[in-house]
Copies of this chain bind each other. A is one copy, B any other.
C-alpha cells in the first residue's frame, strides 16, 4: 500500500505546534546539578520534524507562536536558515516565554529532561492565526499531540485539522505525549482519540497509544481495529529497541528494526524517525523502505549532541542503511 499525496502542492509538509529551545548539557556523564554549561538548540517535536524534513530536501512550513524576545528570534532565524518557511510563525505580544528543555545526560541509559512549559508562547497560538490559504498549499499537515494540551493552541490545531481535511491535505498525527501541561489523563484521551479518528496516519510509541486509550498494556490489534473504523489508513506503533510496526487499512503489517549505534542520549529519536519516515512516504517510497529511513535517522541522531542540528541528510541515512543491510524489515 502507498499513501497518495496531492503532488501539485507547494509544500510537502506543514507542521503545527511548538518550536522551543533545548539547553543541552555541554559536560556529559554527570547529574545536571554538576553540569555548569548548556548549549542551546531549537527543539520541540514538530519543529525538529520540520527541520529534519527540510534537511532531507522536503519543502516544509511551520505554523506556531514565538516569544517576543531573543529566544523567539533565534528560533525563527534558525528554522528559516535551514529552509523552513516561517511566514506563519506569529509573535506573542502578551509576555509569554519560549518553552525550555534542559537535558541531563548521566549516561546513555539515564537521560532526563527538565522542562519549562508553564504559560509558554507556543501554547498561545490562536485559531484566528491558522490560515486556510496556507494549509491548502500542503501535501501533509503534521500535528503534534502536545499542541493539543491547552487552549488556545488546542483549538488552533483542531481548526487546522478541519481545514486540512476540507482541502485534501493528509493529516499525520504524531502522538508526542508529554505528561506536563495536560489537566488529566481523561482529557488527553478525549483529544487524542478525537484527532486520531480524523487523521490519515498516526505515529506513536505503544505507551503513547495506551495514553490515547486511557488504559495500561493495550494491544496493537485492538488499537488498529478501532482506528481503522475511522479515517486512518496507516498506523505506526513503536516498541523501543524491539522496533516498530506499521499497519495499513488494507490489512498489511510491516516490522521495522532498530539500527544499533553508539548512543549518546535517547531524546530526539522520535522526531528524527518521524521526519525520515515522512520524507520516504512523501517521496513515494514503500512502507518497508520508510521504516528503514526512520530507524536509520533515529540511529544517527541518538549518537549526536542535539535533536535539531543533528538531523541527517539523505546521504547519511542511505549510507547507514547500506552498511546495515542485513538488519531487515519483514513483511509479516
Q: Is A116 an interface residue (CB 8 A)?
A: yes
How many protomers of this protein does the assembly include? 4
For A69, list chain B residues within 8 Å (CB).
114
Q: A36 to B39, Cβ gap below 8 A?
A: yes
For A184, list chain B residues within 8 Å (CB).
126-128, 152
Q: Among the listed stretches A71-79, A248-256, A266-274, A311-319, which one makes contact with chain B, having 4 or more residues with CB under 8 Å of it?
A: A71-79
Q: B116 to A100, Cβ gap below 8 A?
A: yes
What's the nearest-Cβ distance from chain B to residue A111, in Å? 13
How far, in angstroms, from A229 to B327 measured CA to CA in the complex?
46
Known A38-B38, A70-B104: A186·B127 in contact at CB below 8 Å: yes
A192-207 contacts to B (CB < 8 Å): 193-194
Q: B40 to A39, Cβ gap below 8 A?
A: no
For A127, list chain B residues within 8 Å (CB).
184, 186-187, 189-190
What's the nearest-Cβ distance from chain B to residue A112, in Å? 8
Q: Is A158 an interface residue (CB 8 A)?
A: yes
Q: Is A108 an interface residue (CB 8 A)?
A: no
Q: Is A183 an interface residue (CB 8 A)?
A: yes
Q: Which of A38, A104, A187 has the most chain B CB atoms closer than 10 A to its own CB?
A: A187
Q: What are some 12 contacts across the A-B interface (CB < 8 A)?
A: A23-B38, A33-B77, A37-B38, A37-B40, A38-B40, A69-B114, A97-B116, A116-B116, A151-B187, A152-B183, A152-B187, A155-B186
